[in-house]
Amino acid sequence: MVALFRHRGFTVSRTHKKKGKYTTKKPPVKKGRVYRLYIRDISKQGDGVGRIGNFAIFVPGAAIDETLDVKIIEVKKNCAVGKKIARKPI
């Protein structure tokens, strides 16, 4: 395709290249680390949902209005899954 543009007199610059939406963003959590998390909501599957910024963390077995220490067991580009370690009263 680049050869086609050059043949017609065009050049490919950086502005013509597509940029991925999530290429520069990195998740704010790391696998294996423990974070303090406030559970705000429940997902459709029944997991507790807490957030760090706009990054969602799903915790199976958590209830609304709990503050937990959560160990991250899986990280994806838009969300993470954690395992509850301890309950802390508010």
Q: What is the CATH number of the domain that holds 60?
A: 2.40.50.140
This model's pTM is above 0.85: no
Note whether residue 24 is domain-resident: no
Q: Which domain holds residue 34?
A: 29-90
Q: Give a yes or no: residue 61 inside a domain.
A: yes
Q: 7 is written with which tokens?
A: 């043949």
- CA 22 → CA 10, 25, 65, 76, 80, distances in Å? 29, 5, 31, 12, 15
- Residue 2 is assigned to a structural domain of this protein: no
> Are residues 57 and 51 in contact, defined by beta-carbon separation less than 8 angstroms?
yes
Residue 3 lies in a domain: no
pLDDT at 60: 95
For the segment 16-45, what is each residue's pLDDT rounded down to a tens digit? 555 555 556 789 999 999 999 999 999 999
Full DSSP string of 53-71? TTEEEEETT--TT-EEEEE
Establish if 76 belongs to a structural domain. Answer: yes
Domain total of the chain: 1
pLDDT of the residue at 47: 95
pLDDT tens-digit series, residues 58-79: 999 999 999 999 999 999 989 9
Q: Which amino acid is at 27?
A: P
- With 60 as the cut, is the pLDDT of residue 13 above it? no
